[in-house]
Structure 1
Amino acid sequence: MRRRSGFASRLLRTGGVGETTSLEGDLRRSILIGDQQPGTPIPIDEVAAFFGVSPIPVREALKTLLAEGLVEHRPHVGYSVAKLTFSEFKELYDVRQALESAALRAAAVLAEPGHEEQVRAAHAQLGEAVERGDERAYDTAARAFHLALIVPSGMQRLVKMYESVWNITEPARPMSRVPDDDRAALHADHERMLIAFTNRDADALVAESDRHYARLRTAISRFADDPDRFSYI
């Protein structure tokens, strides 16, 4: 019996066999959780067989993910999980910082008590992930924390762009390469951001965010030459 490819062997299906409603979401989720290494080929026929559908809806789903920057396509070769250059990867962090800074100033003013509860809950989950040394849980909680900080801004389009930018960097699984000491320092940044947010101090919040991104750039620069994470083309 022929073995499935690396990509197909790591797929998960949330719907029934032959259902196309969850196909796009399942493919996206598979890439975002980091099990699919950047550059991994995506065999359409095997993916279609896994979901019990024809290749047509798989191609349509991959076109959507291509537009989102999660996959790439080479003529006569096919689809694969997107593999960024480190320069592109770092640029996306710059974009994320710019979007976050713009939203934080408004969020600090417009946040309501319910928003503060969400930020505190996300921060508590971060602390639990740090204590367990669980980098995947940390990554998920960090995303929830940063989103909880900017959602009160009411800038819905900006938040969607922010999520999209974050998604594109996920296949490289940056937090999996960050040492525990660096992760602890990043978590300390989150603590100061939480304090500034609860104090409704926009200037301090943006300043702490800027320091956090500076620390992130230092952390990710340590694996800039990893050929499994980044392309050199």
Structure 2
Amino acid sequence: MTPPADRASHSPRRRSVFTSRLTRTGPDGPARVLDDVRDAILRGDEPPGTVIPIDAVARFFGVSTIPVREALKVLSGEGLVEHTPHVGYSVAKLTYPEFRELYDVRQALESSALRAAVRHATEDDVALVSSVHAEMDAALAAQDERAYHLASRRFHLLLIEPSGMQRLVHMYAAAWNMTEPARPMARVPAAGRATFVHDHAAMLAAYVARDADLVVARSDAHYDHLREGIATFADDPDVFRVPSSDI
């Protein structure tokens, strides 16, 4: 019988892989434990549920377990890590309803900021968004999924940054971060990803035209398509935690 998803996520195989993909960005200076562990999680190399071995991470950075535990507590507050009593820390594993809710949060925040962003964006802002969109096209042509995903995230953030709503932008980025470990766009079928590409082009065209109503409409349509995309893997136990009421 296949073990429940939560039990499978704490298997020895996953215990051994986390440190193998860590990167220390400051090898000649103080260890940047918090930043580097966060980056490892956001890259999506470690699937949701991957156990984070504190002792092994401490050895990797050449520090005691204290800064590692402090970093994991911060990441827990950011929704990227969760702590299970008598088990330890692991990459956060959301239920599908929780995951979908984060897309609803992102849509609400993006819609709130876009009108002000269109109104306040300078020509330099528009040029920067356009250049990042070109990077997305180049990554797509090169079939570089990771580069495309990173450029897509930057594209969305650049669209709303001219709004001047810094707290909102911070919340938006935090909501996006919580979905990153699942690498959702890599799981969406090719047809769905093609729709996202069209959405981005339509959003950019409306942004360049300074048509706030159309930008918001295009953004809302994009989130409808995103929700359709993530619904295609809603029952994948490697991605989502089974709600306790379903066990």
Question: For the superposition of Structure 1 and Structure 2, which TM-score range results when normalised by the shorter chain?
Answer: over 0.9
Distance 2:221 2:121 in 1: 22
Equivalent residue number for residue 126 of structure 1: 136
Is this contact kept in 2: 1:86–1:224, CA < 8 A?
yes
Is this contact kept in 2: 1:130–1:184, CA < 8 A?
no
Equivalent residue number for residue 177 of structure 2: 167
Q: How much has 1:177 moved relative to structure 2? A: 0.8
TM-score using structure 1 length = 0.96
Equivalent residue number for residue 195 of structure 1: 205
2:18 maps to 1:7: yes
Q: What's the CA shift string for 1:187-212, capped at 9, x where partnerless? A: 11111101110111100000000000
Structure 2, unaligned stretches of length 5 or more? 1-12
Q: How much has 1:138 moved relative to structure 2? A: 1.4
2:131 maps to 1:116: no
Matches within 5 A, 1:69-80: 69-80=79-90
Q: What's the CA shift string for 1:150-204, capped at 9, x where partnerless? A: 0010100100000000000000000111222221211111111011101111000
Equivalent residue number for residue 223 of structure 1: 233
DSSP-derived class of the 2:179 partner: helix
Counterpart selection for 1:101 from 99, 108, 111: 111
Give the RMSD, CA atoms, in angstroms. 1.4
DSSP-derived class of the 2:89 partner: strand
Matches within 5 A, 1:33-182: 33-182=43-192
Distance 1:77 1:184 in 2: 41
Q: How much has 1:18 moved relative to structure 2? A: 7.8
Quote the sequence identity (%).
61
DSSP-derived class of the 1:41 partner: coil
Distance 1:56 1:18 in 2: 18
Counterpart residue type for residue 15 of structure 1:
G
Structure 1 moving runs of 4+ over 4 Å: none
Distance 1:124 1:18 in 2: 36
Mean CA deviation greater in 127-136 or 151-160: 127-136
TM-score using structure 2 length = 0.90
Q: How many residues get paired?
A: 230
Structure 1, unaligned stretches of length 5 or more? none
